[in-house]
């Protein structure tokens, strides 16, 4: 659905502005990026307003997204599944995260351990950063988790924990050729 929409919009834009826009492939990639990243934020803003958890959702979104950018993690097979999973996870954290109040240090410690073991995860084909520099992403991820521990906010802790759990690969054993 998102791919089809991005494709239709890109074709229409390139036809209308052939001299101003890059080729269709590049325009489609940019449009898909904008939709895939903008739509979840718009949905979260709407849900946050409708459920009266706007501030909580923004705290969750920002802390989750910042760690996600440097640590990687699970990628859904298509953008629609990603949209549903990420939006649902963040709404659940914002709405029910208060159950974790008082456990921020434990949650932060678990997140730090997960980040040290698994970060960065599943980013080899998602970034232009050379693999030899991945250690810096691990260090930065760990620093972000430590900052989350220092802030000592249950929403930040829960968001960081969920993102840290998404670093774990569930694929199983190695494939033997």
Q: Averaged over 97-112, what is the pLDDT?
A: 96
Asked if the model's pLDDT at residue 164 lies above 50, the reply is yes
- Residue with the bigger pLDDT between 36 and 113: it is 113
Most confident of 1-5, 19-23, 146-150: 146-150
Q: CB-based contacts of 116: which residues, under 8 Å, 6+ apart?
A: 138, 142
Q: What pLDDT is recorded for position 131? A: 83
pTM of the model: 0.83
**How many Cβ atoms are within 10 Å of 161's Cβ, its own excluded?**
25
User: Three-state SS for 121?
Assistant: strand
Q: What pLDDT is recorded for position 172? A: 55
3-state DSSP percent of the chain in helix, strand and coil, to 5: 75, 0, 25
Run of H or E including 33: helix 24-50
Query: Tens digits of per-residue pLDDT, 26-84?
Result: 888 888 888 888 888 999 999 999 999 999 999 999 999 999 999 998 878 887 888 88
Q: What pLDDT is recorded for position 50? A: 96
Q: What pLDDT is recorded for position 114? A: 97
Q: What percentage of residues in the chain have a pLDDT greater than 90?
A: 56
Q: 78-98: b or e for each residue (b if 16 or more CB lie within 10 Å)? A: ebeebbeebbebbbebbeebe
Domain boundaries, the chain: 1-50, 54-169
Q: What pLDDT is recorded for position 177? A: 44
How distant is the alpha carbon of residue 67 from its chain centre? 8
């Amino acid at each position: 659905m998102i791919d089809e929409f991005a494709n239709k919009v890109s074709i229409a834009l390139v036809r209308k502005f052939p001299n101003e826009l890059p080729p269709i492939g590049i325009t489609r990639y940019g449009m898909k990026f904008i939709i895939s990243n903008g739509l979840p934020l718009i949905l979260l803003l709407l849900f946050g307003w409708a459920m009266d958890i706007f501030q909580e959702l923004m705290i969750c979104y920002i802390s989750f997204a910042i760690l996600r950018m440097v640590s990687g993690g699970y990628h859904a097979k298509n953008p629609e599944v990603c949209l549903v999973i990420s939006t649902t996870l963040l709404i659940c954290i914002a709405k029910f995260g208060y159950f974790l109040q008082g456990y921020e240090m434990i949650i932060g410690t678990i997140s730090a351990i997960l980040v040290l073991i698994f970060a960065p995860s599943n980013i080899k084909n998602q970034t232009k950063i050379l693999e030899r520099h991945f250690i810096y992403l691990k260090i930065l991820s760990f620093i972000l988790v430590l900052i989350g521990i220092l802030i000592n906010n249950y929403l930040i802790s829960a968001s960081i924990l969920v993102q840290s759990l998404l670093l774990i690969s569930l694929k199983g054993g190695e494939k033997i050729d």
